[in-house]
Structure 1
Amino acid sequence: MSKRLTNFVKEEFYHIYNRGNSKQTIFHDKEDYERFQDLLSISNTVERIDMRVINKSKNISNHSTFKESPLVAIGSYCIMSNHFHILITQLNEKGGISKFTHKLTTAYSMYYNKKYTHSGGLFEGKFKAKHINNDRYLKYLFAYINLNPVKLIDLKWKESGLKNIDKTYKFLETYKYSSYLDFLHFSKENNFREESKILSLKEFPKYFPNSSTFKKEIITWFEYTKF
């Protein structure tokens, strides 16, 4: 087994991502997306959790999330049909990012394999990780990750520009499987919706202290058509 090249350091920032094996679809319906969202919270604990019990539950959001002992802090995320992105920083636990991601992908694979009678590896090997070593890149990733769904309605928008900005805004307002809505409807209590509890923004620079600053960042991205 190959050794991971990235050594995760406490309070450093990382962009982690992975996709389905051979680019296969791994999120087919609402239940799949919501299960992964729930697991983003439930897997984030130093405590041992019995994934067999969790994966039998139809109402997974009722499970304790052990927020008093998290492994990582999540600053942003996006779930697409065949891959996911997470902006993350490791907290007190040594190996926190690796432990969190192992719990997350193992639990989802167990759920997926049972639901779809699937066998073999679901994800494309180990998750990928990029160390974020400068402030500009970190701020860039908040927009990059949350705007990933735009390609679903305008595949070449970065190269050719948006065809319809109003349509894009409306689409993003309906896409529930990223942290976009949590930034768009930001509150200090972080309670716009149940999924807002996935995020822990106090460990990240305060680029967007309110929803208006996030909106300005999105407008800036939409004004520039090539990157």
Structure 2
Amino acid sequence: MFTGIVEDLGSVVALERGADSARLTVDSPVVVTERTAIGESIAVNGVCLTVAAVHGTMFTADVMHETLRRSSLGALRRGSHVDVERAMSADGRFSGHIVSGHIDGTGVIESVTTDGIARVYTVRAPYDLMRFVAEKGSIAIEGISLTVTFADKDRFGVAIIPHTAAHTVLPERAPGDVVNLENDPIAKYVARLMSMSAGTTGPAGTPFTSHITERFLMEHGF
């Protein structure tokens, strides 16, 4: 589990591509020097990867086909910057929001503008992601926990402060660039519960029932 608070702006040292997988090596002094161990989880541009090797200030992780297909990691090159975050410790703070590191898909940056000190990004995304995006809700872009400023049927906006701009990859993203997106997991589970209650059956054909309905959610302030 992660929080979307980027710890380090790492650099890709190597991306060795196979037929349907890849092996990624990232130089991240801030993260690796904090006692990173083999087998730990580290989010790279929002994608949860398992550390397979540690050498100096670098770590290596294997990237399977599903991850390459659902994320933008396959487009990385030697020298690319990446957002890096270690898994949250049990006694840590939720300075961002609940982030699993399991990318739901990708979006495309439509525009980048300024609003005072903030840099405003408009991102276009498919319906199966947009249905979980709500104004003033949370979304992770390239592993960064951000607040949604508006949401239409096929695009949404976020605004980043100077600190975020200085310590993440977003300032390197321009209109037309692909970015990793992870929806708020709570919204996904609520949608799943509601869909399962619509005439579905459980083991041995027994009816599946759920008290989670649209009426229930409205009555309880959702």
TM-score with structure 2 setting the length: 0.26
Q: Which has the larger radius of gyration?
A: 2
Instruction: Work out which structure has the larger RCO, using CA pairs closer than 8 Å and 6 or more positions apart in sequence.
Output: 1
TM-score with structure 1 setting the length: 0.26
Higher strand share: 2
